[in-house]
Structure 1
Amino acid sequence: MTSSSPSAHDSQLRIAVLLLAAGEGSRLGSHPKALLHRDGKTLLELFSSAIQGFSPVECIVVTGFHAQLIESEIAKMNPSLTHPMKIIRNGSPEEGQPSSVRLGLESLRTNFDVLLVALSDQPEVGAKEIQELLDEYAKRKDGQEIILPMVDGRRGNPVLFSYKAVLDVLAQPGMVCRDYMDTHPDKVRAMHTSNQAFVMDVDTTEDIQRHKLKRFSF
């Protein structure tokens, strides 16, 4: 177990990333949330920039409803990224987020120590929040394999899973991360924090205004 808190630059942990970007954005008029932008940068760009400093050994983005638009954006971004994103397309995104999670887990190819499972519509999540999760991971006790942010009693995202936890999930057909946490609460270490970024996402036009975001015209 790591004895001291890792930093973005010297962590010995091999980090993999699973970003979920398959949603329809139905409450936003079927607009891809990952392509909402702030100051000319999409949420996808902002997140990819945030994770670069952690030198991820693998970064998978699961696309779905707006696959072509999001994949086109990734194709533009990847040449400038030290750690590019790998696209996995969910052919049945209407089956919901669990299907994207399972597909993403099954698509992981690189050996890693921890997996960051993140959402594409959390505009305030950046390197600071990822580091907070890693610092908490360094404090975990034996048997604790998952770091779950909790803000005022609310579950947050992203969530950090150990390699062992990911293998346990994959060993059970149809199992996904949320169900695994509910089934094995003893493996979950709650990270109680006042950082609202972990529970802020974008579902409505009011959310877009609150986070000073704009829509792309397609």
Structure 2
Amino acid sequence: MTEEPVGLVLLAAGRGTRFGAAPKLLADLDGKPLVRHAAEAALAAAAGPVVAVLGHAQARVRAALAGLDLQLVENPCYADGMATSLQAGLAALPDAAAGAIILLGDMPCVSPGLIRGLADAFRAAAPKPAAIVPVWEGRRGNPVLLNRRILAEDLARLSGDRGAGPILAGRPDVLDWPADGSGALVDVDTPEMLAALGAKP
């Protein structure tokens, strides 16, 4: 029996204005650009095809992802907010992939195991939830798995600089999934946060 298709969308188009003038996703962490950590975790999970959405500094981000088995999609409307990048990435996934794991390019501590766990939870669920959200120490984090069949119309209507959070709020068919570490809560918004990660043993 073949596994139900699941796809991954790596959001790597944003400007990261809180980080400063330099492109956040290209900042170095342990000898690699921040965005490459997330991309390598997505590929190592072997959960399904990975689409990376590019926008701000796209030529440099493309170079940072060179050699990885990704489908690269340019979002010319990235300045209009995260919703446009989410929609561009979802549109590029195979139609057969009912589940789409949305991975943020500024989350370098997300493990392949966490990503794979979300995919496995979706495949095992009956009935299928609208979304699966990792939870660590009582807090919801990322990446989030979205059910494209259930949420298609809502996702198409998203606008502005937001992800799927508003359309998931209050839904009874969102499954909380226990994550096995804090990587689901670690995103890098400022140089200080990046420095703190680099200082960890």
State TM-score, norm by structure 2: 0.81
d(CA) in 1 for partners of 2:134, 2:193: 21
Any unmatched runs of 5+ in structure 2? none
Correspondence for 1:200? 186
Deviation (angstroms), 1:69: 1.0
Correspondence for 2:117? 132
Q: Deviations over 1:185-217 (max 9, x none)?
A: 12210124462111111011221111108xxxx
CA contact (8 A) 2:35 2:105 kept: yes
- 2:3 match: secondary structure: coil
Q: 2:14 aligns with which of 23, 42, 64?
A: 23
State TM-score, norm by structure 1: 0.76
CA contact (8 A) 1:17 1:115 kept: yes
d(CA) in 1 for partners of 2:147, 2:58: 28
Q: Deviations over 1:152-201 (max 9, x none)?
A: 4433110112342354545x544763333126x12210124462111111
CA contact (8 A) 1:144 1:187 kept: yes
Correspondence for 1:182? 169
Query: Cα–Cα, structure 1 residues 133 and 178, in superposed 2: closer, same or farther, change >3 Å?
Result: same
CA contact (8 A) 2:29 2:194 kept: no
Any unmatched runs of 5+ in structure 1? 3-10, 79-83, 214-218
Identity of aligned residues (%): 24
d(CA) in 2 for partners of 1:143, 1:39: 38
Query: Cα–Cα, structure 1 residues 197 and 54, in superposed 2: closer, same or farther, change >3 Å?
Result: closer
Query: Cα–Cα, structure 1 residues 143 and 109, in superposed 2: closer, same or farther, change >3 Å?
Result: closer
Code of the residue aligned with 2:132 in structure 1: it is I
Query: How well do the aligned residues superpose, as a CA RMSD in angstroms?
Result: 2.7
119-128 or 52-61: bigger deviation: 52-61
d(CA) in 2 for partners of 1:100, 1:202: 19
Residue-pair matches, total: 196
Code of the residue aligned with 2:113 in structure 1: it is K
In the alignment, does 2:141 pair up with 1:150?
Answer: no
Query: Cα–Cα, structure 1 residues 140 and 168, in superposed 2: closer, same or farther, change >3 Å?
Result: farther
Deviation (angstroms), 1:110: 4.7
In the alignment, does 2:47 pair up with 1:61?
Answer: no
d(CA) in 2 for partners of 1:160, 1:13: 14
